[in-house]
Structure 1
Amino acid sequence: MAAFDHAVAPAYRWPIDDLAGLAHEAEFVEVGRMLREPREGERFRRGHLLLRRQ
């Protein structure tokens, strides 16, 4: 997890593998994931996890 500047509230970037690991520990199963590089005007990669409860 890494903090970054955000004008409204504290915000964090979570490495997708770390987040998936935490979800697994909480008894979620990863169904899918998407990770893409930043587009023009974006600063960070964007990741999404699709999870289901065991």
Structure 2
Amino acid sequence: RFALAGASPLIAGQLFDAQGIEAAFLYISGIYLLATIVLLAVPLAPSQRAAGHHH
């Protein structure tokens, strides 16, 4: 589940060493874009209060 989170700094570091800071920034931007797309695509369950369960 958190494999990419653990490996991501290593990947960014390798990109920085091999290609420069621009490649590392592009990689990080891609990760954020992917996370945004996933969050927009996943339906969120309504909260208990919004569903009409007032306890």
Larger proportion of helix: 2
- TM over 0.5: same fold? no
| TM-score (structure 1 length as normaliser) | 0.31
Larger of the two Rg values belongs to structure: 2
Higher relative contact order (CA 8 A, sep 6+): 1
| TM-score (structure 2 length as normaliser) | 0.31
Larger proportion of strand: 1
